[in-house]
A and B are shown apart, each in its own frame.
Chain A
Amino acid sequence: MSELEPPYLYPDYVGTRLRAPAKPLINLPEGFNDFPAPLFPRTVADLDHDLTRQHAGEPIGERIIVTGRVLDSDGRPLRKTIVEVWQANAAGRYLDQDDQHPAPLDPNFTGAGRCLTDAEGRYRFITIKPGAYPWKNHRNAWRPAHIHFSLFGSEFRSRLVTQMYFPGDPLMPRDPILQSIPDQAGRDRLVSQFDPETTVPEWALAYRWDIVLRGRAATPFEDEQ
C-alpha cells in the first residue's frame, strides 16, 4: 500500500522539507484506529454541487461535469458520504487573498462545492475546467489543472484529501506534487477520464473519476442499527 502513497518528505516539492516529520510515525496496536468517521456537521443544499450557479451570472470557462463513484477498499459504494471540492477559476486563479498569480478573478466563480453521494456511491459536480497556475517551487513551475477533493468515508482511517487531474495534461510529468507518488499506477489513479456517455450534447464535457477509500462501508444491515 505504501508505495502507492507519497512519502512525507519529497525534496523536489520544496514545501515538504521543513514540514515532513523527521521521526518515524508510531504504529498503534490492532483496532486502535477502528472507529467511525467524524459526523460532518455541515449541511448540503441542492445547488452546492453546481459551481456555475452560485452567482448572478455564469463563470467564464469550459463548463464540465465531474462525476464518479466513492468506494470502500472492497469496492462497495459509500452512500450519503460528503464530498467537498475546491479549485482555481478558468484563468488559474483562486479566490484567496494569498493567491498572487496575476490572472483575473471571475466575479461569477467562487470555486467551492460539496455534495453527498447517492445510493450507488455516485457524486456529481458541475463546474468549469480550472486553469493551470504558476507556483514558486522551482523555476517556471506550473501546476497541472486539478480539482481538490476532500472525503471522510465511513471510518476515521478513510479520511482522504487529494487532487483530481485531467487526462493528457502535459504538465503532469513535471509536477512534483503528482510525481511524489512513487508508482505510475498510483499516479494514474488521480487522473480522470473523458466520459463521452455522460457528456451532454450542446452543453458540457464530462470527466469520470472514481475514488477508493481505506476501510469498509457499512453494510445495509449495519445501517439499520
Chain B
Amino acid sequence: MSGPLTPSQTVGPFFGVGLPFEKGEQLAPPGSAGVMRIEGQVLDGKGEPVPDALLEIWQPGTGFGRARTDSEGAFSFTTVKPGAVPAPDGRVQAPHFNVTVFARGLLRHLVTRMYFPDETEANAADPVLNLVEPARRETLIAKHCDGVLHFDVRLQGERETVFFAI
C-alpha cells in the first residue's frame, strides 16, 4: 500500500532560472579522449519540437548530466560511454544511460534508456530491450550520425519512445 508519498507536478515552462547549470550537459569535458557527443530533439505528438523540456542522464559509474532543450527542442550531452552493467537477476545489461525527461505538460517525469548502436550483440541479449516489442526497440538505440550519437525523444504518437514505469 502507499505511504504518504508527495505527488508529482509538472516542471512547468519556467524552470530555466532554477534547474539548468553551467556545464550541466558535460559528463566529460568535450574534446578529450574517448568523449562522445549525444544530440537529439524532444518532439510532441504532432512531431513539433518541445522547447521547454529538461533531460537528465545518469549511469552509476559514469555520472550525471542535465540539459534543457532550446527553441528547436534540441539538447546535447558530452560523455564517455558507460560499461556493461550487471542486472539484479545475474544477467548482464548492455551499456546504456538512464534518461529522465521533464517538460511543461508532463505532470510526472518520464524515464527511458539510451543504448548504443555499436553494441549489437549486447543489445540483443539485454534483458530490458527484450521486454520491448521488436518494432519499438529502435526508439531506445541511438544512431551514429556525422560523428555524434543521435537520440530523439518522441513523447507521443508514431514512433513514440518507449518509457518505463518507475
Contacts and interface: CB of A to CB of B under 8 A. Distances in A.
Interface in A21-40: 21-23, 25-36, 38-40
Contacts of A16: 105-107
Given A21-B110, A22-B157, A4 B5 contact: yes
Contacts of B32: none
Contacts of A88: 14
B64 A28 contact: no
B109 interface: yes
Nearest to A165: B9
A94 B162 contact: no
Contacts of A103: none
B14 A26 contact: no
A210 to B, nearest CB: 8
B156 A41 contact: no
A29 B88 contact: yes
Interface in B123-163: 127-128, 131-132, 155-157, 160-163
B31 interface: no
Interface string A174-204: 0001101100001101100000000000000
A104 interface: no
Nearest to A24: B165
Nearest to B23: A41
A160 interface: yes
A18 B15 CA distance: 20
B14 A86 contact: yes
A111 B6 contact: no
Query: Which 10 pairs from chain A and chain B are nearest by CB?
Result: A86-B18, A31-B88, A15-B105, A19-B105, A6-B107, A38-B64, A1-B2, A112-B18, A18-B45, A94-B14
A15 B102 contact: no
Interface of B: 1-19, 21, 24, 44-46, 48, 50, 52, 56, 58, 60, 63-64, 87-89, 98, 100, 102-110, 127-128, 131-132, 155-157, 160-166
A185 B99 CA distance: 30
B7 A6 contact: yes
Contacts of A113: 18
- Report the contact-size class of chain A (Cβ under 8 Å from the partner): 35 or more
Given A42-B24, A94-B14, 8 more contacts: A17-B105, A19-B50, A26-B164, A28-B164, A38-B64, A39-B63, A162-B7, A162-B8
Contact of A19 (B17, B58, B63, B155): B155
Most buried by A among B18, B102, B108: B18
Interface in A98-147: 98-99, 110-113
A182 B101 CA distance: 22
A95 B64 contact: no
Contacts of A111: 17-18
Most buried by A among B7, B10, B45, B98: B7
Nearest to B13: A98
26 contacts: A5-B5, A5-B7, A5-B8, A13-B107, A15-B104, A18-B48, A19-B156, A20-B155, A23-B162, A26-B163, A28-B128, A29-B88, A30-B88, A33-B166, A38-B58, A39-B64, A41-B64, A96-B16, A98-B13, A99-B14, A148-B11, A150-B19, A161-B9, A177-B107, A186-B7, A190-B7
